[in-house]
Amino acid sequence: MTACIVGWAHTPFGKLGDDVTVEDLIVRVTKEALDHAGIGPDDVDEIILGHFNGGFSQQDFTASLVLQADDRLRFKPATRVENACATGSAAVHQGIRAIEANDAKVVLVVGVEQMTTTPNTQVQDILVKASYMVEEANIPMGFAGQFGKIAGAYFQRHGDQSDALATIAAKNHKNGMDNPFAHMRKDFGFDFCRNESDKNPIVAGPLKRTDCSLVSDGAAALVLADTQTALKMRRAVAFRAHEHVQDYLPMSKRDILLFEGCEEAWKRGLKSAGVALDDLSFVETHDCFTIAELIEYEAMGLAKRGQGGKIALEGQTQKDGRLPINVSGGLKAKGHPIGATGVSMHVLSAMQLTGEAGGIQVPNATLGGIFNMGGAAVANYVSILERIK
């Protein structure tokens, strides 16, 4: 346990308005995270910013925008990182590496994205660039089309999973009701999520609108410290494990229904932490589409291959189930501002472990697991957290 989370901040996710800028979001969470950690800008040794951008914001080269929060951050090393939809976790893990290398004792990590000021057709065009353009650029509906294709192939191999996907969507929307940061705080129920309608049309393949995560704005930040420093601070949530597995970009080079990079990241993470999946109190996993969450059940070892739907239908991943998954509402209800997502997952997991999660609190949470992915299981990040103070 070389690094700990000692403070954090989180904006609401959603359509935050044209008058809010990426800079505004960065400055807000930077100030709030430092205050929550009980430290000042002078105490920060390094800054890591997770920001996908790709054309969402006219302002690129954004690492130095963190310095806008306080003049005392001037001349601190600041770096922007990007790894598609796993950009936030890439930033977190980069901060941990700086601490492990003894290059820093305290690292500020910020994740941000502003997506809703971009027209929907352009959003699709920007996101599809995170796929293998040589082969996948012309799949209709961009990433929704890709995951629609994955869902269709899964249905062919393992049978119709429409009930399971609706169960996952309904679960996450119900959970999001109690998350004050969530983009959509509405309990749609199983029947609405299950049935095609004017308000819940088919988007791609068998996926309906309720199967797809939201286009959102938002930011989150956390302060990392080495363990010795963290134990002198207000709180310390330690990384029992942090693993990153990168897989092939072309879907054609993999069995896309297996999420093998996700599976490998979980195996390494659990081994490194010295725990079993059933030791975890909860998991925040990357439900960019409901079919992704279903396959992730299998990749993490919660279900055998082809049995992820059964786990969902049995209620094993509900808040009061065997392993609560996405009690925050997940990307499905909380929203998915690309660069902020992975940081948000770590912030909300730390809140769970310190008993500060409010209405989404899992009782007596002691160990939390996080899975954040970029692309169709290309960039795969697993973290396992435990409170030590």
Structure confidence by residue, pLDDT tens digits, 214-243: 999 999 999 999 999 999 999 999 999 999
User: Dihedral angle at the C-alpha atoms of 379, 149, 287, 100, nearest 10 degrees?
Assistant: 0
Query: Quick one: how far is CA 102 from the chain centroid?
Result: 27
- The pLDDT mean for the chain works out to 97
Q: 242-257 burial, b for 16+ CB within 10 Å, e for fewer?
A: bbbbebebebeebebb
Structural domain includes residue 207 = no
SS3 292: helix
Q: Is residue 53, in this structure, part of any structural domain at all?
A: yes
Per-residue pLDDT tens digits for 109-149: 999 999 999 998 899 999 999 999 999 999 988 899 999 99
Do the domain assignments include residue 124?
A: no
Domain harbouring 29, CATH code: 3.40.47.10
Establish if 111 belongs to a structural domain: yes
Does 106 fall in a domain?
yes
Residue 312 CB contacts under 8 Å (≥ 6 apart), including other chains = 164, 167, 168, 171, 294, 297
What pLDDT does 1 receive?
A: 73
- pLDDT of res. 200: 98
Contact call for residues 267 and 382 (beta carbons, < 8 A): no
- Dihedral sign from CA coordinates of 341, 381, 347, 83: negative
- The residue segments making up the domain with residue 48 are 3-118+215-230
What backbone torsions phi and psi does residue 41 show, to the nearest 5 degrees?
-55, -30
- Give the span between the Cα atoms of 329 and 166, in whole angstroms: 14
Domain count, the chain: 1
The per-residue pLDDT for 212 is 97
The partner residues of 68 in beta bridges, in order of sequence, read none
Per-residue DSSP letter, 101? T
Question: Residue 157: is its pLDDT beyond 80?
Answer: yes
- Strand segments, DSSP code E, in the chain are 3-10, 46-50, 78-81, 106-113, 202-204, 207-208, 218-226, 237-246, 282-284, 367-374, 379-387
Average pLDDT over residues 285-313: 98
110: left (phi over 0), alpha (psi -120 to 50) or beta: beta
- Phi (first) and psi of residue 302, to 5 degrees: -75, -30
Report the pLDDT value the prediction gives residue 121, as an integer from 0 to 100. 86
Radius of gyration, alpha carbons of the chain:
19
Considering the domain boundaries, does residue 82 fall inside one?
A: yes
> What integer is the mean pLDDT of 380-385?
98
Asked whether residue 330 carries a pLDDT value surpassing 90, the answer given is yes
Full-prediction pTM beyond 0.95? Answer: yes
Q: Residue 2 — pLDDT band, cuts 50, 70, 90?
A: confident
Residue 174 forms part of a structural domain = no
C-beta separation of 224 from 44 below 8 A: no
- Give the tokens for residue 204: 């791609």
pLDDT for the residue numbered 142: 87
- Residue 54: pLDDT band with limits 50, 70, 90: very high
Average pLDDT (283-294) is: 98
User: Which residue type sits at 88?
Assistant: G
Q: Indicate the SS3 state at residue 282.
A: strand
Residue 116 φ/ψ, nearest 5 degrees: -80, -10
Does residue 67 form part of some domain? yes
Under DSSP, the state recorded for 129 is G
pLDDT of residue 379: 98
What is the percent of the chain where pLDDT is above 70?
A: 100
